[in-house]
Amino acid sequence: MQPIQKLVTQISSKRWLMVALGVLGIVLILGLPMLPIPQKNLWVRIIGYAGLYILLGLGLLIHVGMTGMLDLGFAAYYGIGAYTAAFLLSDHFGLHLPFWLVLPIAGLVAALVSMLVCIPVLRLRGDYLAIVTLGFAEICRLLFLNLKPITNGSQGIMGIDKPLLGDIVFKTGTHFYYLIFLLLVLFIFLTNRLVKSRTGRAWMAIREDEDVAEISGIDTSRYKLLAFAAGAFLGGLSGAIFASWQGSIFPDNFNLMASINILCLIILGGLGNVYGVVIGALALIALPDMLRGLSDFRMLIFGILLIVMMILKPEGFLPRIPPKLESAHPADVQEGQ
């Protein structure tokens, strides 16, 4: 047990090794759809699906990891994004807007709804907020299920348009695979920028101590709203991609298990580290699918892995690496990273 732990810390403390692993990972991921491997489509689907969960994980990371708001209902924003996209991209309402317009709309609708939920519960902290978000997600799922005239109930919505880029129709998994990859690069880049900004520090300060954040001049209500909206935006975005990729959505896609899975993957990856989400999603979403060959044993192996992980490295695979900001001579400070 001890050597494994040592190895993990050693690897995560070596910057060049991390970079090398990252580059290798990116090359592998980019090349995967072109490799001559058996069951290629399945692999593309598994990794692409994990990518979607990375995007969701990034959103939840802003809620839970950065701002410290325990959100147990993240699937709600995923669902709202998916249904928004389904409404605007199918025969259901006879609307066939361009996908590239619907994508940000889905994100914005989810962000708006999250802010409306957030306003009455701004004063709640910790467990209380968790209960509210849990309840909200269940309300959303039940609305998807029972508002039959609008959502078509348990039959779901079918025939959702695929994205269109010039002459290319995104029919295959490979197209979505690259779309998700591009969005991931963009949003990991942007999230990293946020972490190192005034906004990111305000979020982390709220996570650490809300009262002290307030007395330091941080408008905690405003920054919590902002965090809720930013996270939900990513959730809504993922929902729209999911809807278009699957071509059909059902209320059950956005149940409690989905929320819990997203939460698990960011905890496993390490709260407060953007790259942790990547590892968490690969381990939690892709691994169970890869182990499908082991049939009944796969969930068992997976469960054991989770427990071992929590014992050996409870802070996650990649905890936050604090920035080095101190200058040797305060007179000539270099620009911080």
Partner 1 sequence: MMTGALLSTTLLTKRFGGLEAICELDFSVKESSIVSIIGPNGAGKTTCFNCITGFYRPDEGEILFLDRSLIGLTPHEIAERGVSRTYQNIRLFGNLTALENILAGHHCRMRSTIGDALIHSTRHIREERESLEEANQVLVFVGLQGCGDTLACNLPYGEQRRLEIARAVACKPRLLLLDEPSAGMNPNETRNMITLIRRLRDELGITILIIEHDMHLIMTISEYVTVLDFGRKIAEGTPRQVQAHARVIEAYLGKARPIA
Residue nearer to partner 1 on the CB measure, 214 or 289: 214
Cβ atoms 72, 259 nearer than 8 A: yes
Chosen residue from 14, 208, 252, 294 binding partner 1 by CB under 8 A: 208
Residue nearer to partner 1 on the CB measure, 70 or 143: 70
Residue nearer to partner 1 on the CB measure, 269 or 272: 272
Which string of x and - marks every residue 155-194 that binds partner 1 (by CB under 8 A)? -----------------------------------x--xx
Residue type, 133: T
Tell me which residue of 202, 226, 225 sits closest to 214, measured CA to CA.
Answer: 202
Tell me the DSSP string of 211-251.
HHHHHTT--HHHHHHHHHHHHHHHHHHHHHHHHHHHS-B-G
Q: Per CB under 8 A, does 213 bind partner 1? A: yes
Cβ atoms 259, 75 nearer than 8 A: yes
Which range in 38-46, 257-265, 290-298, 317-325 contacts partner 1 by CB under 8 A? 317-325
Q: Per CB under 8 A, does 219 bind partner 1? A: yes
Residue type, 295: S
Q: Per CB under 8 A, does 201 bind partner 1? A: yes
Q: Per CB under 8 A, does 70 bind partner 1? A: no
Q: Per CB under 8 A, does 327 bind partner 1? A: yes
Tell me which residue of 109, 87, 64 sits closest to 244, measured CA to CA.
Answer: 87
Q: Per CB under 8 A, does 94 bind partner 1? A: no
Q: Per CB under 8 A, does 320 bind partner 1? A: yes
Size of the site for partner 1 (CB under 8 A): 38
Q: Per CB under 8 A, does 296 bind partner 1? A: no
Q: Per CB under 8 A, does 15 bind partner 1? A: no
Q: Where are the alpha helices (DSSP H) in the chain?
A: 2-13, 15-31, 40-60, 75-88, 99-118, 126-146, 148-151, 173-195, 198-208, 210-215, 220-246, 256-269, 274-281, 287-290, 298-312
Furthest-apart CA atoms within the chain: distance in Å: 67
Q: Per CB under 8 A, does 333 bind partner 1? A: yes
Q: Per CB under 8 A, does 326 bind partner 1? A: yes
Residue nearer to partner 1 on the CB measure, 140 or 205: 205
Q: Which of residues 239-278 bind partner 1 (CB under 8 A)?
A: 272
Q: Cα-Cα-Cα-Cα dihedral of 261, 315, 281, 181, to 10°?
A: 130
Point out which residues bind partner 1 (CB under 8 A).
Answer: 190, 193-194, 196-202, 204-205, 208-209, 211-220, 226, 230, 272, 320, 322-327, 330, 333, 335-336
